[in-house]
A and B are shown apart, each in its own frame.
Chain A
């Protein structure tokens, strides 16, 4: 069953080829067998998953099933799940059981999906390699010595290894697209505000966005259908109708104008990754697309801008972890200040502390204009670049990441080198635009991801453009050796 796509599994359930309980047990068995190698799950919710599966089977029998009814999915451990631990991969929340469900979790429950477990990630979603997790690094199923990318590394690895057909992720600077690229799966970061962030543990609130990761654009579209939409509980959620993302998958893309930003093909890009991206562009030409060279002149500033905006917002958001109301508390605090300082000092890992300190510094008295305000001004310039580009083109394409998956430990001692692995994805978050990563071949047996960036709320077009490519290629169908 694990070789079937989500769409095929949904059809199999409806045709009674197998039950949701059988499908869920098969997924649980694969997790038991393979996750010792991958470490992609923090918590496996076996009992609640089987209960949900039996409910789904009853719904399927009564003919009231929706497209996702009975499909096992994994939730990134940043989404609050009532009754199942939500750790955000931090010692700080190692014992935290959320009293409520995130809207995203509730929506999948309402859609009849089976929540099989919570996936590993970088601590508080801060990282690009899944090495900052309190629960240990996740391994890339294509090379067990390599990182899966991050921060949604567990979600990417478990989908790539076909432990589950789909998973949720979150993307603040590339955390869905970069791991999707490094693990050879399909992932979408929707427009800022498209998916509710209620119950999604906040990192950088002006950038954070939830999205879906799966084996193909079609499966991703089915996931996004259940996930997207206005939520009054999230004050940044946008009130706008959600189209059926599967309805336009088969639209012809003849005449599609694809912009190639010259800044995304310059220094720092691995030559073989560049060659694979160029081959993908050739496929699009064959499908009738027109290629337009464009420029995003301020894109080189996106990494510096991000490392002001994201830490500043994270230092504010993470001030809620104080050892008083929930989460880790140090032993024998001398006084209240000692309680705060040691609970936070012992509860957070090194990268989280680094970012809190950078943010605290940038927001401290006298520095606001030089850092946060300056970054917000540059953010507008970066956004304007995209605005001008989208007057000429329908979508923008380029590599998702500058290289394929790197080795575990290779970049973990040098934050700056690590930060640069998100060089092509960060600008999209700063502008609030939707972006995807789609498997586009292999370089030295490791997956390469093609990034597709769209205009605001143009997710349907992104999925359509990705699906048309997947109709003529089979990169997305490849299964890593040892996980067949």
Chain B
């Protein structure tokens, strides 16, 4: 499996990662090598095998629908890069 420069750019866009142009060939090489390693999976036929999502096949636990969290708005906003009037600020999205 070999990824080209354009593949890396597309994947980086999907992952919302800005990658320096100069680093792209390096990523293409590394990612291709990793995909080659992963190719080994195809050496085994798994048509009849059930996928394993959880080591003990446990189900997601349910809990009563009651409030367990208290409002800690100020505490959480304290870590925000930019906040104002109780809101997270981002660049303008709507004209």
* B82 beta carbon closer than 8 Å to chain A: yes
Provide the main secondary structure of the chain B interface.
Answer: loop
Whether A416 and B16, one on each chain, are in contact in the complex, defined by CB atoms closer than 8 angstroms, is no
* B71 beta carbon closer than 8 Å to chain A: no
Please report the C-alpha to C-alpha distance between residue A348 and residue B17 in the assembled complex, in whole angstroms: 9
Whether B52 and A364, one on each chain, are in contact in the complex, defined by CB atoms closer than 8 angstroms, is no
Number of residues in A with C-beta < 8 Å to the partner? 72
* A415 beta carbon closer than 8 Å to chain B: yes
Report chain A residues within 8 Å CB of B30: 354, 415
Whether B41 and A378, one on each chain, are in contact in the complex, defined by CB atoms closer than 8 angstroms, is yes
- Render B32-54 as a binary contact track against A, CB cut-off 8 A, 1 for contact: 01110111111110100111111
Q: Among the listed A304, A319, A325, A345, which residue makes an inter-chain contact with B37, where contact means beta carbons less than 8 Å apart?
A: A304
Report chain B residues within 8 Å CB of A341: 13, 16-18
Closest to B62 in A: A235
Report chain A residues within 8 Å CB of B75: 99
Interface 9-mer from A55-63, A288-296, A331-339: A331-339
In A135-172, the 8 Å CB interface with B consists of: none
Whether B52 and A376, one on each chain, are in contact in the complex, defined by CB atoms closer than 8 angstroms, is yes
- Render A329-353 as a binary contact track against B, CB cut-off 8 A, 1 for contact: 1000111111111101110101001
* B86 beta carbon closer than 8 Å to chain A: no
Whether B41 and A192, one on each chain, are in contact in the complex, defined by CB atoms closer than 8 angstroms, is no
Whether A415 and B15, one on each chain, are in contact in the complex, defined by CB atoms closer than 8 angstroms, is no
Please report the C-alpha to C-alpha distance between residue A303 and residue B46 in the assembled complex, in whole angstroms: 17
- Render B1-25 as a binary contact track against A, CB cut-off 8 A, 1 for contact: 0010001100111111111100100
Whether A308 and B17, one on each chain, are in contact in the complex, defined by CB atoms closer than 8 angstroms, is no
Q: Among the listed B8, B27, B88, B91, which residue makes an inter-chain contact with A333, where contact means beta carbons less than 8 Å apart?
A: B91
Q: How far is the CB of A448 from chain B (nearest CB, A)?
A: 26
Whether B56 and A416, one on each chain, are in contact in the complex, defined by CB atoms closer than 8 angstroms, is no
* B85 beta carbon closer than 8 Å to chain A: no
Whether A357 and B80, one on each chain, are in contact in the complex, defined by CB atoms closer than 8 angstroms, is no
Whether A335 and B11, one on each chain, are in contact in the complex, defined by CB atoms closer than 8 angstroms, is no
Report chain B residues within 8 Å CB of A356: 15, 17
Q: How far is the CB of B20 from chain A (nearest CB, A)?
A: 8
Please report the C-alpha to C-alpha distance between residue A143 and residue B90 in the assembled complex, in whole angstroms: 48
Please report the C-alpha to C-alpha distance between residue A301 and residue B49 in the assembled complex, in whole angstroms: 15
Whether A326 and B91, one on each chain, are in contact in the complex, defined by CB atoms closer than 8 angstroms, is no
Report chain B residues within 8 Å CB of A373: 51
* A256 beta carbon closer than 8 Å to chain B: no
Given A357-B11, A416-B33, A326 contacting B79 (CB threshold 8 A):
yes
Whether A357 and B27, one on each chain, are in contact in the complex, defined by CB atoms closer than 8 angstroms, is yes
Q: How far is the CB of A174 from chain B (nearest CB, A)?
A: 16
Q: How far is the CB of B50 from chain A (nearest CB, A)?
A: 6
Please report the C-alpha to C-alpha distance between residue A431 and residue B44 in the assembled complex, in whole angstroms: 18
Interface 9-mer from A123-131, A244-252, A262-270, A379-387: A379-387
- Render A366-379 as a binary contact track against B, CB cut-off 8 A, 1 for contact: 00000101111111
Whether B91 and A235, one on each chain, are in contact in the complex, defined by CB atoms closer than 8 angstroms, is no
Q: How far is the CB of A375 from chain B (nearest CB, A)?
A: 6
In B51-95, the 8 Å CB interface with A consists of: 51-56, 58, 60-61, 63, 72, 75-76, 78-82, 88, 90-93
Whether A315 and B76, one on each chain, are in contact in the complex, defined by CB atoms closer than 8 angstroms, is no
Report chain B residues within 8 Å CB of A377: 46, 49-52
Given A193-B58, A308-B41, A361-B31, A380 contacting B11 (CB threshold 8 A):
no
The CB with the most chain A CB atoms within 10 A, among B33, B58, B63, is that of B58
Given A238-B56, A298-B44, A345 contacting B18 (CB threshold 8 A):
yes
Report chain A residues within 8 Å CB of B81: 323-324, 326-329
Whether A380 and B72, one on each chain, are in contact in the complex, defined by CB atoms closer than 8 angstroms, is no
Please report the C-alpha to C-alpha distance between residue A217 and residue B93 in the assembled complex, in whole angstroms: 56
Chain A interface (Cβ < 8 Å from any Cβ of B): 95-97, 99, 192-193, 206, 232, 235-236, 238-239, 298, 300-301, 303-305, 307-308, 315, 319, 322-329, 333-342, 344-346, 348, 350, 353-354, 356-358, 360-361, 364, 371, 373-381, 383, 415-416, 419, 430-433, 456
- Give 7 CB contacts A-B under 8 Å: A99-B78, A327-B81, A345-B18, A358-B34, A377-B46, A378-B46, A380-B50
A-B complex: 7 closest residue pairs judged by Cβ atoms? A432-B55, A345-B18, A376-B51, A329-B81, A326-B79, A377-B46, A380-B52
Can you add 14 more A-B contacts, CB < 8 Å, to A345-B20, A354-B34, A415-B30? A97-B79, A192-B56, A301-B40, A301-B43, A324-B80, A325-B76, A336-B90, A341-B17, A344-B15, A346-B18, A350-B23, A354-B27, A356-B15, A360-B15
